[in-house]
Structure 1
């Protein structure tokens, strides 16, 4: 059984796209924490934010992460804010490799601007909000085993970089 790979990073950095490619390349199972939350609650992420609160969402997210970390051989695409809940980074690090996908604020804005399913970006100036949130979360996003900048890197190439890192890390124990 191989260690899990946890993809973290801001929304729009390519975690789901790269994660699916990566899982296929490594013959691992792909899972997405946001999708699992939606299956568990019967609500979309936006509905949870709207009907409940971000705090309720973060609590459910941590519960789902706990379930995931009991399994092996997974590529896990996490929600962009999973890193802000105390203990989540440690939980992922203990059970696998943490890989951060990074991208510039402008590229993230371009990738997410037409997606109305991003509750934290449904504000007057989403680009400014992206910059603020990236700044606030930067120390989490860089405290990982491996970083991939997806600003100008196609998903297939990003996945290849992670495969190479993972196989090297795996062979070293």
Structure 2
């Protein structure tokens, strides 16, 4: 199973869309369907969750910072990284 996973990973590009806790809070603060954020200090909860997940997020091939970027800009960055990976060129520094 591990060999299959390694082989699949070599043929894929794992992209992590990243944002600061503050950017995430700005995006979700008016959404009432987020049970993990229904507590006295939701921004702190976001920070905690990101801290717990950072190790896993950093395993992605590419980290794309979505803070202060439009959907179009993020899409362009992801496509750019995909084309770099497909061409076999070394990827640029992370995060993007």
Q: TM-score, normalised by structure 2?
A: 0.76
SS of residue paired to 1:108: helix
Q: 1:170 to 1:94 in 2, by over 3 A?
A: closer
Residue 164 (structure 1) aligns with: 80
Q: TM-score, normalised by structure 1?
A: 0.44
Between the aligned partners of 1:117 and 1:93, the Cα distance in structure 2 is 33
Between the aligned partners of 1:117 and 1:145, the Cα distance in structure 2 is 31
SS of residue paired to 2:13: strand
Residue segments in structure 1 that go unaligned for 5+ positions in a row: 1-86
State which of 144, 157, 162 in structure 1 corresponds to 2:60: 144
What is the CA distance between 1:122 and its match in structure 2?
A: 1.7
State which of 25, 50, 68 in structure 2 corresponds to 1:134: 50
**2:18 is aligned with 1:102:** yes
SS of residue paired to 1:97: coil
Whichever structure has more strand as a proportion of its residues is 1
Runs (4+) of structure 1 exceeding 4 A deviation are: none
Aligned positions of 1:47-58 closer than 5 A: none
Say how many residue pairs are matched: 85
Residue 71 (structure 2) aligns with: 155
Q: 1:112 to 1:169 in 2, by over 3 A?
A: same
Residue 46 (structure 1) aligns with: none
